[in-house]
C-alpha cells in the first residue's frame, strides 16, 4: 500500500452555516418534543432515513447534512429550510455569519433567505441587482407580481411598520421624537398602499366598462357604430 493510500482522509470542514444548522436541528427537535429516535422514525417514513446515532452526530457537528437531508428535516419539522439555515433572529442591529458572505445584518440574512432581496447590494446598483435577483431566483409569476406598484408599496409598509413595532417594544426615555417620526413614516406607507388599492380598483372598473362596451358593439348590426346607424 502506498503512502498516499495510507494517508487518512481530511476531516470535514464545518463552516458557520453548518454550525447554525446543527443548533437548529437540536432546537427544532426539542421544540417538537422528539427524541433522536422519534425524529429518525419520521425521516424513515418520509423516505430519507437517518439513524438516531447520525442525528446525534449532526447536532454535535460530527456529521455533514446534505441538501436532501436538509429538505427532509425541514419537512419533518414543518418549517422552511431557512429555519434551519439561519438563527431565529432578524434584528437589523444584530449580525449573523453566513458561509460565503461573512457577517451580515440578521434582517438582511432573512430577507435574502425568504427571496426578497440579495444578501448584499452594491451602492449605485441596487435596482439592477434586485431585478437580477428576482429574474434569476423567482418564478416568472412572482417576478411580475413584485414589479407592481402595489407590491412595492406593501413591502415599504411592512418594513416601516416592522421598524415601528420593534421600536414600540422597547421604551427609551427621550426618544419620543424618533418614535413619532417612525409613526409618521408608517402612516405614510400605509396611505400609499391604500392609494395603490384605489388605483387598482378604478383600473379594474375601467377595464370592465371597456369590455362591456366592446361586447355591446360586437352585437350591433354590421355598419352601425356606437352613435347610431351610419348614413351614406
pLDDT digit string (tens) for 101-118?
999 999 999 999 998 899
Residue, of 210 and 4, whose pLDDT is higher = 210
Task: Read off the pLDDT band of 57 (50, 70, 90).
Answer: very high
With 90 as the cut, is the pLDDT of residue 158 above it? no
Residues in the chain: 232
pLDDT confidence of residue 5: 55
pLDDT confidence of residue 70: 97
Q: Is residue 9 part of a domain?
A: no
Q: Is residue 55 part of a domain?
A: yes
Q: Which of 33, 57, 85 is the last residue of a domain?
A: 85
pLDDT digit string (tens) for 79-98?
999 999 999 999 888 999 99
Report the CATH number that the domain containing residue 69 is assigned in CATH: 1.10.260.40
Q: Is residue 99 part of a domain?
A: no
Q: Is residue 108 part of a domain?
A: no
Q: Which of 71, 59, 75 is nearest to 21 (CA)?
A: 59
Mean pLDDT of the chain: 87
pLDDT confidence of residue 173: 58
Q: CA quadruple 46, 52, 54, 59: dihedral positive or negative?
A: positive
Q: Which of 35, 54, 85 is the last residue of a domain?
A: 85
Rounded average pLDDT over 208-227 = 74
With 90 as the cut, is the pLDDT of residue 75 above it? yes
pLDDT confidence of residue 79: 96
Q: Is residue 128 part of a domain?
A: no
Q: How far apart are CA 87 and CA 13, in angstroms?
A: 20
With 80 as the cut, is the pLDDT of residue 228 above it? no
| CB hemisphere CA count around 111 (13 angstroms) | 20
Backbone angles phi, psi at 130, to 5 degrees: -65, -40
Give the CA distances from residue 144 to residues 138, 172, 199, in Å, rounded to whole numbers and listed in that order.
10, 42, 18
Helix, strand, coil in percent for the chain, rounding step 5: 60, 5, 35
pLDDT confidence of residue 1: 46
C-alpha cell at 11: 476531516
User: Which structural domain, as residue segments, surrounds residue 56?
Assistant: 16-85
Q: How far apart are CA 147 and CA 131, in angstroms?
A: 9
pLDDT confidence of residue 167: 73
Q: Is residue 1 part of a domain?
A: no
Task: Read off the pLDDT band of 26 (50, 70, 90).
Answer: very high
Q: For a pLDDT cut of 90, what percent of the chain falls above it?
A: 53
Residue, of 227 and 96, whose pLDDT is higher = 96
Q: Is residue 213 part of a domain?
A: yes
Q: Is residue 110 part of a domain?
A: no
Q: How far apart are CA 25 and CA 61, in angstroms?
A: 11
Task: Read off the pLDDT band of 179 (50, 70, 90).
Answer: confident
Backbone angles phi, psi at 96, to 5 degrees: -125, 155
Phi-psi region at 128: left, alpha or beta (left = phi > 0; alpha = psi -120 to 50)? alpha
Q: Which of 85, 101, 116 is the last residue of a domain?
A: 85
How many domains does the chain contain in total? 2
With 70 as the cut, is the pLDDT of residue 221 above it? yes
Amino acid at each position: 500500500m502506498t503512502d498516499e493510500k495510507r494517508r487518512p482522509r481530511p476531516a470535514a470542514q464545518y463552516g458557520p452555516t453548518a454550525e447554525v444548522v446543527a443548533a437548529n436541528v437540536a432546537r427544532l427537535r426539542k421544540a417538537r418534543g422528539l427524541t433522536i429516535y422519534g425524529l429518525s422514525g419520521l425521516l424513515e417514513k418520509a423516505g430519507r432515513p437517518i439513524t438516531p446515532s447520525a442525528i446525534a452526530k449532526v447536532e454535535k457537528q460530527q456529521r455533514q447534512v446534505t441538501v436532501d437531508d436538509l429538505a427532509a428535516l425541514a419537512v419533518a419539522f414543518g418549517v422552511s429550510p431557512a429555519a434551519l439555515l439561519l438563527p431565529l433572529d432578524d434584528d437589523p442591529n444584530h449580525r449573523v455569519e453566513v458561509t460565503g458572505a461573512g457577517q451580515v445584518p440578521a434582517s438582511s440574512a432573512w430577507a435574502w433567505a425568504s427571496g426578497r432581496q440579495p444578501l448584499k447590494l452594491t451602492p449605485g446598483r441596487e435596482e439592477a441587482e434586485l431585478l437580477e435577483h428576482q429574474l434569476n431566483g423567482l418564478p416568472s409569476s412572482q417576478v411580475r407580481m413584485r414589479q407592481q406598484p402595489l407590491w412595492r408599496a406593501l413591502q415599504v409598509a411592512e418594513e416601516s411598520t416592522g421598524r415601528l413595532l420593534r421600536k414600540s417594544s422597547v421604551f427609551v426615555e427621550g426618544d419620543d421624537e424618533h418614535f413619532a417620526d417612525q409613526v409618521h413614516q408608517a402612516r405614510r406607507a400605509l396611505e400609499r398602499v391604500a392609494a395603490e388599492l384605489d388605483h387598482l380598483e378604478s383600473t379594474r372598473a375601467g377595464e370592465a366598462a371597456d369590455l362591456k362596451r366592446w361586447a355591446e358593439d360586437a352585437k350591433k348590426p354590421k355598419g352601425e357604430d356606437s352613435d347610431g346607424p351610419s348614413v351614406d
